[in-house]
Amino acid sequence: MQRVLVTGASGFIGERLCSRLKAEGMEVTALMRHGAEGPWDSAIRTDLSQKPLPADALKGIDTIFHLAGKAHALSETRQGESEYFNINTSGTRRLLEAAQQSGVQRFVFFSSVKAMGEGGDLLLSEESPCNPDTPYGKSKLEAEQLVLKGGYVPEPVVLRLTMVYGPTAKGNLPRMVQAVDKGRFPPLPEINNRRSMVHVDDVVSLALAAATQPAAAGEIYIITDGQPYTTREMYERICTALHKPLPEWTFPMPLLKLLAKLGDAIGQLRGHRFMFDSDAMEKLIGSAWYSPEKIQRELGISAQYRLQDALPEIIAGLGITPRKNP
């Protein structure tokens, strides 16, 4: 890599990726919808969901990291569902067409394990069948097919990310940390669910390996730290990082399920989802468990961070001061 393009450069992952690329001597061009300052040499302002790139926008670019897209949202509408395909699928096609015209060699597409769906208690790998059950997941899977089978670039790579954690205020994990700190997160019992996650800096390192190693061309890799976490384990680790004692009681699961059904009913009456319903409960207590074995085997690289390593930085970034040890 010498000259690279990063879409979604101003986002949580994108900015960390650009900083790493610059540190390694790359010339970085950022592509974004709105202007922003950041660790890049130049920027292109455009909306891939609305129009093609200018003819010479990718001149001299040898590698593209495509992060831009519409992320999974808690509250869906019919209009929102169509936007997933317009942004995630059609936008990717427009970028691929421009890459083909400019002779871009490698195209690293940041997808999601949502393109596969969730296997419950089963450990899923790249060989598992894909059964996405959300518009977001379906739009990502269609975009993957364009990247890998469209013939636009000679060296396409797809990265399926699990939940990414790190120093940000956005996402489910920071919300959970804030809720635990304020005593608003119920101390659920251990239900032995499994959820995969990965630190943002590991995402960057694994993406760079996928962008530079010849063996990665044409492949799909799941990106996870390899450590499945139960909801109870996450809760306990957060309490420990906050120096907060664990409650001596646990929240009854039947009551949690009853509250979820009540949320479903409220959502139907309002015409859009309530903050806690059956889908939110599933994200809380369900399993989404994925294997990092393929990227470890083929590229010889694995994640270095675990949740407990990152929690102090996450807590500090949220402006929370852990309680003093007794």
CATH number, domain with residue 43:
3.40.50.720
Q: Is residue 281 part of a domain?
A: no
- Report the domain count for the chain: 1
Residue 239 within any structural domain of the chain: no
Q: Is residue 89 part of a domain?
A: yes
Q: Residue 96's domain spans which residues?
A: 3-165+197-225+289-307
In a domain, 254, yes or no: no
What pLDDT is recorded for position 287? 94
pTM higher than 0.85: yes
Burial (CB < 10 A; 0-12, 13-18, 19+), residue 270, is exposed
Cβ within 8 Å of residue 149, ≥6 positions away: none
Could you tell me if residue 246 is inside a domain?
no
Whose tokens are 């900083």? That residue is 19
Segment-wise mean pLDDT, segments of 10 residues, the chain, 326 residues: 94 96 96 89 90 87 95 56 90 96 97 92 95 93 98 98 93 93 95 96 98 97 96 97 95 95 93 87 92 97 95 95 77
227, 309 Cβ separation under 8 angstroms: no
In a domain, 127, yes or no: yes
Distance CA 68, CA 87 (A): 9
Assess if residue 99 is contained within a domain: yes
